[in-house]
Structures are given as C-alpha cells and as structure tokens.
Structure 1
Amino acid sequence: MSATPGTGKRLLPRRIIQLLVGLFLYGIGIAFMVRAGIGAAPWDVLSQGISLHVPLSFGLITVIVSGLVLLLWIPIRQRLGIGTVLNALLIGPSADVGFLVIPHGVHLWQQIVLFAVGLVVLSAATGLYIGADFGPGPRDGLMTGLHRRLNRPIWIVRTAIELVVVLVGWGLGGTVGIGTLAFALLVGPLCQYFLRIFAIRQRG
C-alpha cells in the first residue's frame, strides 16, 4: 500500500500533544505511587532516597538523575530524540505538581487505591509518550543501549539496572515494599496494553 502524502505532517500536532500529555501524566502517576507509601518504582525509590539527604525537591532530583543517565548514553552511542530531552525535563516537575494535591495514604486501603491509580496512570502515560514516537526516555534508552552493546537479553539488562538502582535508593532511605514488587510484575503488561491503544502508526 502506498504512503499517503502529508500523513506524517498531519499527525505531528497529535503526536506532540500526546507526548506532552503522556509526560505530564507520567509524573502524576509517580506522585500517586510515592504518596501511597508502600513502595515505588526502582528509579523513584532512588529519587526518594536522595531527597532525604539534600535540600532539593523530588522532581528536581528526578531531573538531575535523568541528566546523569543521559551522560551514560555517550559511551554506548545511544541517540537522543526530542522525546528523550522532554522526558528528562518534564516528568520531575509534573511529579512535584502531583505532590501538591495528592494526599498521603494513611490506611492500608487508601494506600492500595493510591498505588493502583498511580500504576494505571503511569502505564497509560507510558503508552502515550512512547506511542508518540519521539524517542525513548533516558532510562529506557540506557536499557536498550546496554542491551545492544553488551549483547545480553534485555530482561537481564533491565533487571540488573533496576536492582542496583533500588538497592542504592533503599540504602539511602527510599521506601521499598509490596508496591515495588507489584510495579515490577504489572508495569510491563499494562504498558504493552496501553501502547497498543495509543501507538500512532505513521504512513510515509
């Protein structure tokens, strides 16, 4: 089937909106899960742990960590996309916005609800921003770049990275718990589901 002329240009506004909405919601999803207090995603455990030792917000620490991760792209020759840069810059501030309005979970049922909402929001946001096709986030790019350079299965690379990250974050005082395990088990299938919904298929 021949490509339709101009299809890519017509889709560009939708892709930009989808990228920005996805990145904003990703930060909101993080805020929900952190506020739940039953364990967050590995990289958020790291940011949470660092925030206990420096006078910086969680969001700003997330931005700084993203910048450091991007420096690791240099030796593995991973290429940036505009989505990569915006991911590094916007998710942290949107998480800080979420912290302003999302309360802490007090009772167990509240913690479970907050975490479940956060996990679904983050997974949908992942489908949105990846589906916009503007490049991977810093952490995803590190994973795929190491996978390519080391010639190791991607699940081994991801597991190794996140194990190191969560252990460092936990050692610094970040919250590791049942939520961390639930994230590890559920985020992959949920992201795959939402990516099927939000992926933009360009022709030409």
Structure 2
Amino acid sequence: MRGRRLPRRIAQLLIGLFLYGVGIAFMIRGEIGAAPWDVLSQGISLHVPLSFGVITILTSIVVLLLWLPLRQRYGIGTLLNALLVGPSADIGLLLIPTGQPLWLRVGFFVIGLLVLSAATGLYIGGHFGPGPRDGLMTGLHKRTGWPIWIVRTGIEVVVVAVGWSLGGNVGIGTLAFALLVGPLCQYFMRLFAVRIGSQPTGAGA
C-alpha cells in the first residue's frame, strides 16, 4: 500500500512546496499585508543584500536549529520545505508584477492565499514531516504544555513585531491571513490527504 502510493506522495510534496512559494509571492505582490513569517523575511530583506527567498531559507535553517532542544524529529519533507519554498517564492516574485492597482493587488492576495492553502494540503497530505515553523510550534506545545493556539499566536505576534520594526509590510492582509488560513488549510488537507491503510495521513505543515 505504501509503495503504490509513494509516487503520488512525492509528487504532492514537490508540487505543494513549489506552489507554496508561489502563493507567498502572490500575497507579497498584493501589497496589503503579508503573512507573519513573510513580514519578517521582508523586513530582513530591506537591510541585507539577499533575496527574499534566500532569507526564507536562512530563517528556516535557524528555526530548525531551535528544534534541537525541543527534540523534534526531522522528515524529508521538513528539509525540502526549508530548501525549496524560498527559491519558488523568488521565481514568483520575478514573474508577478509589482505596483498594480488596488483591485488587482487584492486579487493577487486572494489568489496567493488560496494557492498557499491548497499547497499546504498537498504537501501535508504527502505525509513526509512537518515544515520548520509548524514543527517549532508543536515542539513548544509539547515542551510547555500550553495550548497550540497560544503557542502559535505568541510566535506569530513576536515574528510580526520584529518584521514590522524592520520595515516588513503589515496590513489588512496580515489579519485576513491569520483568520482564513486555518479553515482553508483544513479543507485542502482533507481533500488531498493520502490514505495509508485505512487512515488518511497528515503530519503538520
């Protein structure tokens, strides 16, 4: 059962990670507020001669180092997430035009949020391990015993605050992302979950 479904799982992982970066790029080009971790990467990019994607990779590596004291386990999906999302975001940023009228920028943001949510469902459904940032969240949850929503909110408030102080774009899109990404990801996770045996798989984002 696992062997027959492995090609689909690998395809979902790789396509999902590529589309995740493209979704990030669309939301950034919307210019109405980025997702929390992207606000941080934007802010850092204003102060160092590195692309958004390279900063995203370096941030992911730092987050993975924080896994060590939390005793979180890496998966191949975890490592590929850290390495592939940033370059795909850079590709998207090169292809998607900037400085568009508001109605089009809102459209970019909506497209980005939908693409990112579908991409999350694809790569989580492949069951190759959590992404760096969600692994940090679940690791802190296990170590502290605090509810997931408190841990996630705390992390993202800190990340947004640091990113905003560095010049990252915080706006209505940041709030919309916080409110909508959870339900959208849940829908797409159910849609794309690969079943192994009698149970659907899914292992964090």
TM-score bracket for the superposition, by shorter chain length: over 0.9
**Other-structure match for 1:163:** 157
User: What is the number of residues matched between the two proteins?
Assistant: 198
**Other-structure match for 1:36:** 30
Superposition pairs of residues 183-202 of structure 1, within 5 angstroms = 183-202=177-196
Which amino acid letter does the alignment assign opposite residue 50 of structure 2? L
Match of 1:141 among 135, 146, 151: 135
Which amino acid letter does the alignment assign opposite residue 171 of structure 2? G
Superposition pairs of residues 64-83 of structure 1, within 5 angstroms = 64-83=58-77
Partner Cα separation in structure 2 for residue 105 and residue 147 of structure 1? 40
Structure 2 regions of 5+ residues with no counterpart? Answer: 199-205
**Other-structure match for 1:4:** none
For the pair 1:50 / 2:52, whether they are aligned, the reply is: no
Partner Cα separation in structure 2 for residue 201 and residue 60 of structure 1? 34
Match of 2:82 among 88, 108, 114: 88
SS of 1:97 mapped into structure 2: helix
Partner Cα separation in structure 2 for residue 18 and residue 106 of structure 1? 32
CA displacement at 1:105 relative to structure 2: 4.6
**Other-structure match for 2:126:** 132
Partner Cα separation in structure 2 for residue 137 and residue 55 of structure 1? 26
Which amino acid letter does the alignment assign opposite residue 85 of structure 2? I
CA contact (8 A) 1:38 1:111 kept: yes
User: 1:21-74, CA deviations, whole angstroms, 9 ceiling, x for partnerless residues?
Assistant: 000000000000001101010000000000000000000000000000000000
Partner Cα separation in structure 2 for residue 172 and residue 201 of structure 1? 43
Partner Cα separation in structure 1 for residue 46 and residue 193 of structure 2? 37
Which amino acid letter does the alignment assign opposite residue 12 of structure 2? Q
Q: Provide runs of 4+ in structure 1 moved above 4 Å.
A: none
CA contact (8 A) 1:105 1:114 kept: no
Partner Cα separation in structure 1 for residue 89 and residue 128 of structure 2? 21
Larger radius of gyration: 1
For the pair 1:121 / 2:122, whether they are aligned, the reply is: no
Partner Cα separation in structure 2 for residue 57 and residue 180 of structure 1? 21
Q: Alignment RMSD, CA only? A: 0.8
SS of 1:31 mapped into structure 2: helix
For the pair 1:111 / 2:101, whether they are aligned, the reply is: no
Aligned residues with identical type, % of pairs:
74
Partner Cα separation in structure 2 for residue 61 and residue 152 of structure 1? 29
Partner Cα separation in structure 2 for residue 144 and residue 103 of structure 1? 36
When the two structures are superposed, what TM-score results if normalisation uses the length of structure 1?
Answer: 0.96
